């Protein structure tokens, strides 16, 4: 590769920078002759913290500024948590690599020094997907919305505003905070968000990203395709509780999904399996089945 410089765009939160630096480390090894640098920026989703995402425009608010930098050639790659990416990606800005998956589970974090959720305090939770599933696990404990990055949320927890937090294990571990985890929720009891634990590297259409060949993970790619096809078919943004988790094993993929139908106020969980090569078709098939079971309009 002859390119002299590669600029990687990132949100400016600590976790986003750590994740981007993981990609930069790989690129430096793959392109020792290139100068690789980081460009950080605050996105709209990072700035507006007093309202839930579904009230201010959904996941696109975390990528808009990064997309603009790519289009204007101020950056060459963007690094995102795949779960934060909109389901519709501009054709001119394709995802060019999916990382190997970090732990996809959700976790429970308690205030420092506590061994159980303090009485009378809510669980801090930022998604309807988690809220819906927490009602099954903790029927007597209310959930309360919380925004901000992981560090901000932890400080609110330790200040006594919440009795517990639910976060993605991947982010907590990448921040070096695994010792704060009180409980892991297995995917069977709390289905993760589509793409959770996977990093998505976005680039520009028509450019040579062959230097990322060794970074791409095929199992994560199949899982991502199935999970995102499931959510896309159901038109799930931030506002509707939808979850999907794919596991690839020896060329087969098992997809577990959750769909909540607002029309009938019911939800269903289901599971299907197929060849990993049919990941997207599997996602759509499971989505159709769960939509039928909840009485949603086809």
Residues carrying an active site annotation = 84
Encoding tokens for residue 293? Answer: 């079971």
Rounded to whole angstroms, the Cα distance separating 251 from 20 reads: 29
Q: What are phi and psi of 195, to 5 degrees?
A: 85, 0
Rounded to whole angstroms, the Cα distance separating 10 from 12 reads: 6
CB 38 within 8 A of CB 8: yes
**Helical ranges in the chain per DSSP H:** 14-30, 44-47, 53-56, 64-71, 128-137, 150-158, 169-174, 218-233, 279-293
Nearest to 245 by CA among 146, 170, 178: 170
């Amino acid at each position: 590769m002859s390119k002299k410089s590669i600029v990687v765009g990132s949100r400016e939160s600590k976790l986003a920078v750590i994740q981007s630096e993981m990609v930069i480390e790989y690129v430096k090894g793959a392109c020792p002759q290139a100068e690789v640098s980081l460009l950080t920026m605050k996105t709209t989703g990072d700035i507006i913290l007093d309202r839930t995402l579904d009230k201010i425009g959904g996941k696109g608010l975390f990528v808009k500024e990064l997309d603009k930098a790519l289009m204007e050639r101020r950056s060459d790659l963007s690094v995102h948590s795949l779960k934060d990416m909109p389901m519709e990606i501009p054709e001119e800005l394709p995802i060019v690599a999916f990382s190997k998956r970090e732990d996809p589970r959700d976790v429970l974090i308690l205030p420092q020094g506590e061994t159980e959720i303090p009485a009378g305090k809510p669980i801090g939770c930022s998604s309807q997907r988690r809220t819906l599933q927490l009602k099954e696990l903790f029927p007597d404990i209310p959930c309360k919305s919380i925004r901000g990055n992981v560090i901000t949320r932890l400080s609110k927890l330790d200040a006594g505003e919440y009795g517990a937090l639910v976060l993605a294990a991947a982010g907590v571990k990448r921040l070096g905070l695994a010792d704060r985890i009180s409980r892991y929720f297995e995917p069977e009891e709390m289905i993760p968000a589509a793409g959770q634990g996977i990093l998505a590297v976005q680039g520009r259409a028509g450019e040579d990203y062959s230097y990322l060949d060794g970074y791409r993970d095929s199992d994560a790619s199949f899982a991502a395709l199935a999970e995102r096809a499931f959510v896309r078919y159901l038109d799930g943004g931030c506002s509707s509780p939808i979850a999907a988790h794919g596991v690839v094993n020896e060329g087969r993929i098992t997809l577990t999904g959750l769909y909540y139908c607002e029309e009938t106020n019911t939800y269903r969980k289901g599971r299907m399996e197929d060849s990993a090569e049919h990941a997207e078709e599997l996602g759509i098939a499971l989505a159709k089945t769960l939509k039928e079971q909840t009485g949603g309009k086809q």
